[in-house]
Structure 1
Amino acid sequence: MFFRPGTTRIPFRTGDEARKGGSDGRRIELDPANDYHARAAMEAYADSCALDMPWLAEWLRDSTAGGDAGLTNCASTVRRVFDLAQEWASREPDYAHAAWEHVRMGLEAALSAHLRPKEHVDDKVAALSGAGAKA
């Protein structure tokens, strides 16, 4: 079976290798160009394999975002891990709830800014200055 250009096949084995391995024939085809969840899955996989296979992690990151990944495609994972870290920290005698919440607010702002559509700075300046308004 042929795959569309710009998609990633998992498992990476092809043809005879897949048949010899006892695979049941199921494959997953990820299309990062059109599927947000595919980009998040590839980012997570790249993070997971980075220590053992840095070449694969680099290739996955480059193929996912064309080399311009920005902050993250896995905001929900970042939030989940932050919650877990805060829970662990809360068990310590020197836990400072206000400090953790301050960091959470900054993290949420960064994640939210990353997810919002990019606006042109000139558009903001024009809106604030009233430039382009009809008289």
Structure 2
Amino acid sequence: MLITLGKGKFILNAHADVYARAAMEAYADACEATSSERARRIRESLYLGRRMPLCVQTALRIVREAQVVGRLRADYSESAWLQVLHTLELIEREPEVIKMFSNWPGSNPR
């Protein structure tokens, strides 16, 4: 992906640079609402069809922020939120664990 910032240009190589991949994944998420076709093409080029995002840290941050808002609701369940957070933390530590899920390509669910 070529990015032009004022005087400089940057080329993000998502297949060689995990940070570039994360940036392109975030870009696809950001443009989804207004340019779903662009987002789809980016995800296809990154092979992200049904995969966990590369930016598990981003997912954790968003879930933690949503949990703060969730605590204001009468039907808030601490145990449910903790289960989600613990699962994301596990995936961050041990990415291979995602293969336990049945919708993961090449998975072998128990």
Which TM-score band (shorter chain)?
0.7 to 0.9
Instruction: Tell me if the contact between 2:2 and 2:12 (Cα under 8 Å) persists in the aligned partners.
Output: yes
Q: Find 1:99's aligned residue among 77, 80, 103.
A: 80
Q: 1:94 to 1:24 in 2, by over 3 A?
A: closer
Once the two structures are TM-superposed, the CA of residue 52 in structure 1 deviates from its matched residue by 0.9
Task: Write the distance in 1 (CA, Å) between the matches of 2:41 and 2:2.
Answer: 13
Q: Which residue of 1 aligns with 2:2?
A: 9
- TM-score scaled to structure 2, two decimals? 0.72
Change (3 A) 1:98 1:24: closer
Alignment counterpart, residue 28 of structure 2, candidates 11, 31, 46? 46
Residue 70 of structure 2 aligns with an amino acid whose one-letter code is A
The 1:26/1:69 distance shift into structure 2, 3 A limit, reads farther
Tell me the matched-pair count: 98
Question: Scaled by the length of structure 1, what TM-score is found?
Answer: 0.60
- Please identify runs of 4+ aligned residues in structure 1 that moved more than 6 A: none
Give the match for residue 11 of structure 2: 29
Structure 2: unaligned runs, 5 residues or longer: 100-110
Identity of aligned residues (%): 31
What's the CA shift for 1:81? 0.4
The amino acid across from 1:48 in the alignment is A
